[in-house]
Structure 1
Amino acid sequence: MSSSWGNIPTWAYDAAQALMQSLKVVDPLTYAHCCRVGEMSRKLARDAGLNEYQQKLAEFAGLFHDIGKIGVPQEIIAKPGKLTDQEYEMMKCHPVLSEEIIKPLATHEFFAEILPGIRGHHERVDGRGYPDKKNGDEIPLIARIILVVDTCDAMSETRAYRKGLPMEVVYEELKRCSGTQFDPQLVQIFLKAHEHWKDQKQDQDTLNYLIKKIA
C-alpha cells in the first residue's frame, strides 16, 4: 500500500495479525483494548487533519501500544486491587517493551516511524509522564493522540479493579487534565468528534477490521 506521503509494506498486515494473535492468546482483554485504541487513534488523527499515511501510522502505533504487556506478569495486569510501588514500576516498563517487540520490523521505514508513538504514549505534556519525561511538543504527535484515546478507552471499560465509568465522566476527566496530562488541542478535537464516531460506517479495509477477524 502506498500514497504520496509514504508507503506501507505489503507484509505489514500479516505481521500485525501474527503479533496480535500472540497478544490475544496471552491477554485477550489487552488485545481487545489495543484493537479499539488502534481504530480510535486513526480516527483522531484523521479529525486532527493528518494525511492518510499519518493516519495509518497512528493506527498501527495505537494497535501495538500495549503489546509489551506480554512481558508483564499477568498477576499484575489483572490484579483487582491497587498495585504496589514495585508492581507499578514493572507496569511502567510496558511502553519500552512494546517498542522492543516492534523494533525488529523497523528495518522498514513505516515501522521505524511508529516506534516513537509507541514508546511515548504515556508521556504527559507537563513532563511528568514516562519513560522519558518529555513535555509539550517534545512528545511525538502520534503518542499524544494515543494517550487521549487510550485514556478514554481505559476509563470507560470495566477492569478487574473497577467498573467502567460513564462517558460523561470520562469527558470531564479529559477536560480536567487538558494541558497537564493531555494535549489541549487534541482533547478539544476528540470531545467534538468522539460521539459521532459510532455513527460512521466502518472502513472495511482498515487494519483493525482484519485484526478483529482473528478467531
Structure 2
Amino acid sequence: MDTESACPETRNLYRTFFYKLLRNYVVGSLLVILIAGSSVVLATLNLPPEEHRRLGFIMLLSLAVMTIVELIVFLRHIKPIRQGLNSGAGLKKLKAAYVQTHRLPLLTVFRILVPHLLGFSVPAVILTSCLLSRGLLNFPVLYMLGASLGALVIAGMHAMLDFFLTTAAIRPLLVDLKIQANKKYQVELNAKGYKFLSIRPKFLISGMLIGTSPLLLFSLVVHFRLQNSDAGLFQNYWSWAGVILLIAAAFTYMGARLITQDIERPISQLYDAMNDIKEGQMTKIPNIYSDEFSKLVSGFNMMVGSLQHREKQSQVMLDSYFVALAAALDARDPYTAGHSLRVAEYSELIGRLCSMSTEELAIIRKSALLHDIGKIGISDTVLLKEGRLTDEEFNQIKAHPILGENILVQIEPKDEMAPLLPGVRSHHERYDGQGYPDGLAGEDIPVLGRIIAVADAYDAMTSDRPYRRGMAPSIALLILEEGKGSQWDPAFAQVFVDHMRAQLFSMRKGRA
C-alpha cells in the first residue's frame, strides 16, 4: 500500500519526510565507509596498489550487501506509516502509524547497529579472510579486528546522529497524523503505551559517544602506526593510552551527567507544577534560572497567574449565581426573604466552629444557599398558604428536597453541583430517623444535611411568619438544645447553641 490515495499535502509531506531519512542514511553510510575504510584500514596499512584495489572492491561489495539488507528492514519499519497516511486508513491504522512514527528514531538506531553494521562488517570480514588465506592480501589478522572495532565505534556515532536527525524529521508527520485523526474521527492521538526514551539516557549515551569515540578511533590508528614503525614505543602504548581513554571517559560521563541534571531539574519542576494544576492547585515555580529556562518558567508562571485570575472571576460569578438562585426563591414569599442567605451564614458558622477546611466551608455555604431550591416546583397556593396545611399539601412540601436535588442534577457544571446534592436532599432528615425524604438516622445522614438542619431550624424559629411572630433567640436555642440527639445532630446543635448563647451574653453585657 502506498500514499498515492492520500491528499496532495500529505503526499508531499511524506515525500519530504522520506527524502530526509534517505539523505541522512546515504550521508551517514558514506561517512562510515570513508572514515572506517580510509582512517582505520587504508591509512594504517602500507599496501601495494593492487591490494588497495582489492580492499576497495571488498568495501564496495560489502556496501551493496549492507544497502540491500538495511533497505528491507527500513521498508518494514515505515510500512505502518505509509498505511496510516492512506486516505482510506481507519482509526486503528492511524494510531499504529502515530506510534510507529514515534518509535522511528530508536528503530533507526537498531537499523544502524544491527542490519547496517552487520550487513557491512560480516561480508567484509568473510571476504578479507578469504583473500588473506589465499595470499592476495598481506597484513596481520589483528588489523582486521581493529578495523571491525573502528567500524563499531563509527557506527555508534552514526546511530547517534541519525537518532536526532530522525527525531527532527518525524515532527511534521506526527502533526499531520494528529490532524487527520481529529478531522476524521474527532480523536486526539497519543502514544499511550509506548515507552519514550527519557532525556537522561539520550544525554549520557550521546555524551559518551561524542567524548570518547574520536579518541578511541585515534588510539586505534596510532596503535597500528606505532606497531609498524617503533616497537619500543608500541610496548608501552596501551598503558598510557588506556589511562587517557579512562580519564576522557570519566570526564565525559561527569559532564554529560551534570548537563542532564541541569536540564532535568526545571523540566521536573514544570511537570510537577502541571500535575498540581491538573489536581486544581495553581502552583507557580520559583524562577531561579539564568538561561532559556528562565523565559520558559516566566511564561509558565504568567499562564498560572492568568488561570488564577480567571478561576477567581469564575468563582465570583458562580457564587453570585448561587446567591441569585437563592434570592429568586426567597422573593416568592416576602416573609421568608433572606432565609436562604441567613441559613448559609449559620451553616458556614457551624462548619467554622468545627474547624472545617476552606473548601468544606465553601461547599457548606453553597449547599445551604440552595437547600430550599426545590420549593420552586411547589405551587404558590400551597407554599404561601397561611393556614394549616392538609396532609396532601404537606406531602407536597415534603417533596421539595427531592425536587431540589433533581433541579441541581441538571445544572452545569455537574462536578460543581455534585458535592451540594447531599445537603439539599437531606436537610429535613432527623437524627432519630423520623425525618424525610429517606428516613435516615444518626451519622447515616450526610454531614451537610445535619449542619443545614440546625441552621434551617434556628432561622425558621426566629423569623416572623404571617401566622406568628418569630421566637426569641434564647427560646430557639433552648429548643435546639432539648432536641439534640433526637431531631438534630448533638455535636452540631451544641456547638451552635454554645456560640450563639455566648454572642447573646456579650450583647446583653454590652448594653448593660
- Per the alignment, residue 150 of structure 2 pairs with none
1:157 to 1:17, Cα distance in 2 relative to 1, 3 A: closer
RMSD: 2.4
Q: Match for 1:176 among 467, 482, 505?
A: 482
Correspondent of 1:95 among 398, 401, 404: 401
Distance 1:25 1:171, change over 3 A: closer
TM-score (norm 1): 0.82
Structure 2 gaps of 5+ residues are 1-279, 283-310, 507-512
Distance 1:28 1:3 in 2: 42
Q: Any idea what SS the aligned residue of 2:428 has?
A: coil
1:13 aligns with 2:319: yes
Aligned residues: 196
Which of 54, 60, 82 is the equivalent residue of 2:388? Answer: 82
**Residue 368 of structure 2 is aligned to residue 62 of structure 1:** yes
Q: Compute the displacement of 1:153 (Å).
A: 0.3
Counterpart for residue 36 of structure 1 = 342
DSSP 3-state at the match of 1:160:
coil
Instruction: Give the superposition deviation at 1:17.
Output: 4.0
Amino acid aligned to 1:37: V
Corresponding position of 2:463? 157
Deviation at 1:32, TM superposition (A): 1.2
Call closer, same or farther: CA 1:67–1:31 in 2, change over 3 Å: farther
Q: For CA contacts below 8 A with separation 6 or more, give which structure has more relative contact order.
A: 1
1:196 positional shift: 5.5
**Which residue is equivalent to 1:117?**
423
Q: After superposition, what is the alpha-carbon deviation per residue over 1:96-135, rounded to whole angstroms, capped at 9, x for unaligned?
A: 1111222223644332011001100000111110001111
> How big is each residue's C-alpha offset from its partner over 1:65-92, in whole Å with a ceiling of 9 and x where there is no partner?
0121111122222222211111100110
1:123-180 Cα shifts (integer Å, max 9, x gaps): 0111110001111111111110000010000001111222111112111111111101
Q: Contact (CA 8 Å) 1:82, 1:161: kept in 2 or not?
A: no
Residue 126, structure 1, aligned to residue 418, structure 2: no
Larger deviation: 115-124 or 9-18?
9-18
* Distance in 1 separating the partners of 2:489 and 2:336: 24
Between structures 1 and 2, the one with greater helix share: 2
Deviates most, 182-191 or 73-82: 73-82
Measure, in 2, the Cα distance between the counterparts of 1:197 and 1:13.
Answer: 28
CA distance in 2, matches of 1:83, 1:162: 15
User: For residues 91 and 197 of structure 1, what CA distance do their matches in structure 2 show?
Assistant: 33
Task: For residue 197 of structure 1, report the CA deviation from its aligned partner.
Answer: 6.2
Which protein is bigger by CA-based radius of gyration?
Answer: 2
| Alpha-carbon distance in 1 for matches of 2:424, 2:342 | 15
Secondary structure at the residue paired with 1:144? helix
Tell me the residue number matched to 2:63: none
**CA separation of 1:106/1:48 partners in 2, compared to 1, >3 Å: closer, same or farther?**
farther
State the alpha-carbon separation in 1 of the partners of residues 418 and 404 from structure 2.
13
Deviates most, 156-165 or 25-34: 25-34
Tell me the distance in 2 between the aligned counterparts of 1:116 and 1:137.
13
Check if 1:194 corresponds to 2:194: no
Matches of 1:68 and 1:180 in 2, distance apart?
25
Letter in 1 for 2:403: L
Please say if residues 330 and 340 of structure 2, whose CA atoms lie closer than 8 Å, have aligned partners that are also in contact. Answer: no
| Deviation by residue 1:40-87 (Cα, 9 ceiling, x = unmatched) | 111111111211111111101110001211111222222222111111
Aligned mates of 1:119, 1:127 — CA distance in 2: 15
Query: Aligned partners of 1:104, 1:161: CA distance in 2, in Å?
Result: 36
The CA deviation string for residues 2-29 of structure 1, in whole angstroms up to 9 with x for no partner, is 779xx99634224324423532443344
In structure 2, the residue matched to 1:53 is 359
Partner residue in 2 for 1:72 = 378
Q: Mean Cα displacement is larger for which, 130-139 or 168-177?
A: 168-177
**Conserved 8 A contact 1:106-1:112:** no
Q: Secondary structure of 2:410's partner?
A: helix
Cα distance in 2 for residues equivalent to 1:62 and 1:192: 21
Moved more, 94-103 or 129-138: 94-103
- Cα separation, partners in 2 of 1:20 and 1:185, compared to 1, 3 Å: closer
Q: Which moved more, 1:109-118 or 1:86-95?
A: 109-118
Name the SS of the counterpart of 1:180 in structure 2: coil
> What is the distance in 2 between the residues matched to 1:131 and 1:54?
24
Distance in 2 (alpha carbons) for counterparts of 1:60 and 1:79: 28
Structure 1 unpaired stretches of 5+: 200-215
Q: 1:49 to 1:119 in 2, by over 3 A?
A: same
CA contact (8 A) 1:30 1:66 kept: no
- Alpha-carbon separation, structure 2, partners of 1:64 and 1:197: 27
Distance 1:122 1:24, change over 3 A: closer
